[in-house]
Amino acid sequence: MSSVKPKPTAAPLRAARSDGDATRSAILDVAGQVFAQRGYADATSKEICARAGVNIASVNYHFGSRGGLYEAVLVEAHNHLLRLEEMQALAAGPGDPRQKLRAIVSRIVEHVTGPRAHWGSRVVVRELLAPSEHAAALVQQAIAPKAGILIGIVSQIVGLPPTHPAMQRSLFFTVAPCLAMLLAPAELRTQVLPGLGGEPAQLADDLLRYALAGMDALGAQYRA
């Protein structure tokens, strides 16, 4: 009989990796809820780990520090509003750039005007109202890549190169109303401006009509 022993399988390693991913996801979700409730300054790793049912060392193991965890939460919160992969697929696919922009704006409007049950919206609102030292991570890791895709789409609509100041202003003027709706209290839509509380699809259509008219005007002005 052969004395060669069979090599151990890699199943334990895969299982360990899967468990690690599950632990990381659990910490991220609980941390998002805690940061949404308390803000970055008042949320502690101890509370997050206790609520997640993990050892307090897990934060450093998976995220490096409490600050690293918060940055991961910020990126995930922004992804809840709009995922980079969805935008990349939409931008790379066939179709009119105006329809692509409508699909993206509709997605944003749907989230910012919804019931806001997910912690992502509240985390983003907190960071926008009171930026922390980790705001740069949100901009660099989440906002900038998506803005790059939007700039490409808007550039096709306006007919100006992506680096043109008027083209970049067109993008900001389009996205700014979405940010305003995200920051606005619910009472603004229900009591002061009830027209903002309509169907998200209709709201997105009107926003695009307004934005596209401005893009056409700016494009005509600066192309001339």
For 51-67, how does the pLDDT look when each residue is reduced to its tens digit (9 = 90+)?
999 999 999 999 999 99
SS percent in the chain: helix, strand, coil, step 5: 80, 0, 20
Predicted structure pTM score: 0.82
> Is CATH 1.10.357.10 the right assignment for the domain spanning 82-223?
yes
Q: Determine the topology of domain 15-79 in CATH.
A: Arc Repressor Mutant, subunit A (1.10.10)
Pairwise CA distance, residues 195 & 187, whole Å? 12
Domain ranges of the chain: 15-79, 82-223
pLDDT 10s digits, 142-192:
999 999 999 999 999 999 999 999 998 999 999 999 888 888 887 887 888
